[in-house]
Amino acid sequence: MDRPATLDRCITDTITLRSAVTEDISFLARLYADTRRQEVSAWGWPPEQQAWFLRMQFDAQRRSYQANFPKASDHIVFRDDEPIGRILISRDAEVMRLIDIALIGNQRRLGIGTHLLRNLLEECHTLSCTLHLQVAQGNPALQLYERLGFVQTGGDPMYLQMEWRPTPRQKVVAC
């Protein structure tokens, strides 16, 4: 759905980031469950089993991120002082990796993710570094990544690897 630029500007003007802290774990667990709830509910499990499984998966993901990306910058995304998402980024000298970006369901498709990504791409452009990410096959965000200039560099039956490289002529328009 196309939205007027004025609507997107109004929304993105209220977006802020804050470094994640230990007290954010319960929000991050709820956010993780929100991103996977539809998939897990299709399995026919009772709600208690779904909640247990999603918490177990969140805990495993958190340990994996900490082990594999110990220096990553983890930020909570706020809209009007309410937490609505997360962006987790690993930065090296010549490469950045978007490890995770997620928004609560009712905050998706409003231009917020595009705003966050454009800001990240502008940073990559300024630093002349490549941005890598991995996206699940069939994830609707794939269309956004392609629209922003990411190209597929690999994949398997579950995930696609993508990257964005700045070019001298390329300028990212940040919201």
Please report whether residue 97 resides in a domain.
Answer: yes
Please report whether residue 169 resides in a domain.
Answer: no
pLDDT tens across 130-144, in order? 999 999 998 889 999
Domain containing 35: what range? 5-164
Residue 1 pLDDT class (50, 70, 90 cuts): very low
Task: Print the SS3 string covering the chain.
Answer: CCCCHHHHHHHHCCEEEEECCHHHHHHHHHHHHHHHHHHHHCCCCCHHHHHHHHHHHHHHHHHHHHHHCCCCEEEEEEECCEEEEEEEEEECCCEEEEEEEEECHHHCCCCHHHHHHHHHHHHHHHHCCEEEEEEECCCCHHHHHHHCCCEEEEECCCEEEEEECCCCCCCCCCC
pTM of the model: 0.86
pLDDT tens across 4-39, in order? 444 455 666 789 999 999 999 999 999 999 999 888
pLDDT tens across 93-122, in order? 789 999 999 999 999 999 999 999 999 999
Please report whether residue 54 resides in a domain.
Answer: yes
Please report whether residue 37 resides in a domain.
Answer: yes
Please report whether residue 32 resides in a domain.
Answer: yes
Kindly report the CATH number assigned to the domain that includes residue 27. 3.40.630.30
Q: What percentage of the chain carries pLDDT values higher than 70?
A: 89
Please report whether residue 147 resides in a domain.
Answer: yes
Please report whether residue 172 resides in a domain.
Answer: no
Please report whether residue 175 resides in a domain.
Answer: no
Tell me how many domains the chain contains: 1
